[in-house]
Chains A and B, each alone.
Chain A
Amino acid sequence: MLGKSAGARGFSAFNTVFLIVLSLLCVAPLVHIAAVSLSSSSAVTAGWVILWPVDFTWDSYRFVLSRGEIWSPMIVTLKRVVLGGGLNLLMTILIAYPLSKESAVFRARTGYAWFFFFTMLFSGGLIPWYMIIRQLELLDSVWALVLPAGVPVFNIVLLLNFFRQLPKELEEAAFMDGAGHWTTLWKIYLPASLPALATVSLFAVVWHWNSWFDGLILMNRPEHYPLQSYLQTVIMQRDMTFIQHLSRAELAVVSDRTIKSAQILIATLPILFVYPFLQRFFVKGIVLGSVKG
């Protein structure tokens, strides 16, 4: 099949080059922002920075990290990622396992499944959701970011479909040996489901890391904002008060643009670090959990 005709070879070469260019286009904007964040503001203003830093400097990062405003949002985000991601994973496992049973065995299954699934079809909308969280006096607490998002239905569907593909004999053998549901789940199902668990954990952690809207509206005081909500206010709402406090000399090295770029990169780095390690898991996890043979 290889190299049959000139036409086939030509297509193959074009195909390869096209896909490589396409994939580079997916990361080029980020590389550009990274280059901007590591360049001097004068080089950036002059338009010399494309994909490589010009007049390399860490000053934008030093400026952002030394001003300290970014630290408290980062701690809030770490808290919500740990608490929220943990709760998500726990709920996903505890709900997916019973729902993966046959309804002949677990008769309430269908009712429960619809109870959870219905929330993917219909929602009360923003205002009643906000009002109930306010009524529960969760505003300004990290639990407002954790509890309402506690049950990730999409992840549950993914994991329960994965559970269903495990051989039934495993479970039957466990029951023969006198194991109950808790033991079976803990000792048999979970060890056999590591790719799927890695996938749903990645989704939960990334979701919490990236969420900004709930932080913005549920936290009244900016020091309670998670990282992305904080960034939303400094990047999108174009808050530039800090720039007025800079001296002329400082402005040659850092600017609104280089500082924003540095903040964007700081908020992206953790994802860039975990992503390559989990990538091979999530492809497997998604494929097995969503496309049923």
Chain B
Amino acid sequence: MYKSRARSRNMPLHLMILPGLLLVLVFSYIPMAGTYIAFQKFIPAKGFFGDQRWIGWDNFRYLLELPDIYQVLWNTVFIAVMKMAAGIVVPLTVALMLNELRNQAIKRSVQTLIYLPHFLSWIILGGVMIDILSPSSGIVNQALGAFGIKPIFFLGSNDWFPYTMVISDVWKEFGFATIVYLAALTGIDPQQYEASIIDGANRWKQTWYVTLPGMRMIIVLMAVLSLGNVLNAGFDQIVNLYSAQVYASGDVIDTLVYRLGLQQAQYGVATAVGLFKSVVSFLFISVAYYAAYKLADYRIF
């Protein structure tokens, strides 16, 4: 009797979930099922359920024979891994430095300013970057010129493009990423600091022997969770800042899917690349969450 009462009491919970369930079913699960077109010679005009020709692994074989494919894979991983490393080191350092600030008003102002770029789109920031990095009229090159440095074509040179992506991405996101580390810092027991001061530890020693060990879990967690992004070099950013002259260093999986699929209408081939990316990312994220669970007892829900 208790069971049936609990069940009827839970009816509203099922009802609450239902609309969201339907939306996710239609816009996430049906597209997942729709990846079968990676195995078809897909002609868009015939539609999703049309009479398409099955070609097995031909789309994948075609991809492996594309001359640029290995370069694209390399670019993706190269840019993504640099972003992952910088995306931990920079916010962590800034959080430690912010933690040493004694003046609360300055601390709050600094935080407000460094969080801001996270909330602006890559369209806006892309426009800003293109303007300030321009080799002829951009303010950055004007400033470099004052030191006698020749103009650098940050967005048009294959030597510079990947690093420009990493630095501008770190610039946009480091502030927001410090929030988590600052939160972890507040969780460290103050008694440990007092004890270490009695033992004669100075600021550096306190940081080294109390703060960093206290943050080890969160650092491991953030590092592990970022693994899932190994094939995410940042579509929004790159597609808005690159051009044909930097395809050699800047073309990544997502931009390739976009060009093959929506600009050249090779739907089957583009889906095959996308499926490859989804499967590899899925494996990485699964391993990452499992590792986070084991190492840091982290559960997302």
Contact = CB atoms under 8 A, between A and B. Distances in A.
| The 7 residue pairs across chains A and B that have the minimum distance between CB atoms | A125-B274, A124-B31, A128-B34, A210-B121, A23-B113, A98-B13, A128-B31
Given A26-B113, A27-B116, A150-B23, A15 B278 contact: no
A261 B14 CA distance: 49
A135 interface: yes
A38 B86 CA distance: 35
Contacts, number: 266
A98 B121 contact: no
A231 interface: yes
B262 A130 contact: yes
A176 interface: no
B139 A112 contact: no
Contacts of B137: 44-45, 47, 257
B248 interface: no
21 contacts: A32-B132, A91-B19, A94-B20, A95-B17, A97-B16, A98-B16, A101-B13, A113-B301, A116-B20, A124-B35, A125-B270, A125-B275, A126-B258, A128-B30, A128-B48, A132-B31, A210-B120, A236-B126, A236-B130, A263-B127, A271-B120
A19 B120 contact: no
Interface of A: 1-2, 8, 11-12, 15-16, 18-20, 22-27, 29-30, 32-33, 36, 44-45, 47, 50, 91, 94-95, 97-99, 101, 105-108, 112-113, 115-117, 119-133, 135-136, 147-148, 150-151, 157, 160-161, 180-182, 185, 206, 209-213, 217, 228, 231-232, 235-236, 257, 260-261, 263-264, 267-268, 271, 275-276, 279, 283, 286-287, 290-291, 293
Contacts of B218: 291
Interface in B242-268: 257-258, 261-262, 267
B262 to A, nearest CB: 6
B130 to A, nearest CB: 7
B10 A106 contact: yes
Interface stretch (B60-68, B70-78, B97-105): B97-105
Contact of B12 (A2, A91, A113, A180): A180
A150 B20 contact: yes
Contacts of A271: 119-120
Interface string B4-48: 001001101110110111011011111111110100000010011
B37 A127 contact: yes
Given A128-B34, A275-B116, A291-B218, 20 more contacts: A15-B101, A19-B101, A26-B171, A29-B128, A99-B17, A117-B301, A120-B285, A125-B271, A125-B275, A128-B31, A128-B32, A128-B35, A130-B262, A131-B37, A132-B30, A181-B12, A210-B124, A212-B236, A264-B124, A267-B123
A286 to B, nearest CB: 6
